[in-house]
Amino acid sequence: MAQISKKVLEKIEQENIRPYPKQYFLFKRSVIWTLFGISVLLGSISSGLIIYHMQHAEWDLYPHFRQNILEFALMVIPYVWILFLIGFAFLIYYYFRRTEKGYRYSTVLVLSASLILSLLGGLALHQLGIVKRVDLAFEKNVPFYKGVHGRKIDMWTSPEKGLLAGKILEVLPNGKIRLEDFKGKTWNIDISQTIWRGRITPQKNLEIKIIGQQTGKDTFRAKEVRRWSGRGKRYRKGPIRF
């Protein structure tokens, strides 16, 4: 043993090896835990956005996209945020395993805990309304990103599938309204046999979404009208016929 210690000391002297100061290890530990915390936060934001998008997905519109299930899935399932959540879960795992006691735990346990931690954080951020603001900020500032609002507009601006949405420009006396959809096109809508959900009535500047049938290049027959701010059947409090 003494011979081994002597050889180690000789090697240290020959290679001029100097021990790291205590502050170095404290700094390294702080960096690892900081990166771990950032990964948890980003994972929580990702899971919160998944919850937000799924909550606002209008699943009852599936029959209108039955001929193109992939299109409907791309509109309602936030694949991008699911991939980000998985990526951040691996980052959480990576940094946790580099903490002083992280090596003691199994890969499956750490990854599972990472996902659970992100989901709990996402629920909290969603309840606080933070993910909604994040989604709107991304939609406003990130090119090609479509948040809940953008996806909703795409889904409801599908007259060939019987879906249309926009703002009422004028209520006409012959059981019709003029509507400008959210992509700027003007439509003449027949509302003579329409069910209005949520105790709303046709009035100028009201934003609505319509289920019905396209009857011409710029004409549409409405079967059901919902308030634009509603989700699925949330505003179904009793039909009003006109």
Q: What is the DSSP track for 190-241?
A: E-TT-EETTS----TT-EEEEEEEE-SSSEEEEEEEEETT--TTTT-S--EE
CATH architecture of 157-241: Beta Barrel (2.40)
Interval 20-41 mean pLDDT = 80
Count Cβ atoms below 10 Å from residue 113 Cβ, excluding itself: 15
Interval 113-166: pLDDT, tens = 999 999 999 999 999 999 999 999 998 898 888 888 888 888 898 899 899 999
Give φ, ψ of 168 to 5 degrees: -70, 125
- The residue among 215 and 7 whose pLDDT is bigger is 215
Share of the chain above pLDDT 90, in %: 43
Q: Where in the chain is the domain with CATH 2.40.50.140?
A: 157-241
| pLDDT, position 188 | 94
Interval 174-215: pLDDT, tens = 889 999 999 899 999 999 889 988 788 889 999 999 999 999
Q: Can you tell me the distance from the alpha carbon of 241 to that of 91, in angstroms, rounded to the nearest whole number?
A: 55
| pLDDT, position 67 | 66
Q: What is the dihedral of CA 90, 93, 98, 104, to 10 degrees?
A: -140
Q: Who's near 154: CB < 8 A, 6+ residues apart? A: 75, 146
Interval 219-238: pLDDT, tens = 999 999 999 975 444 433 33
Residue 9 has pLDDT above 80, yes or no: no
Residue 14 has pLDDT above 70, yes or no: no
Q: For residues 214 and 160, is the Cβ–Cβ distance under 8 A?
A: yes
| pLDDT, position 233 | 44
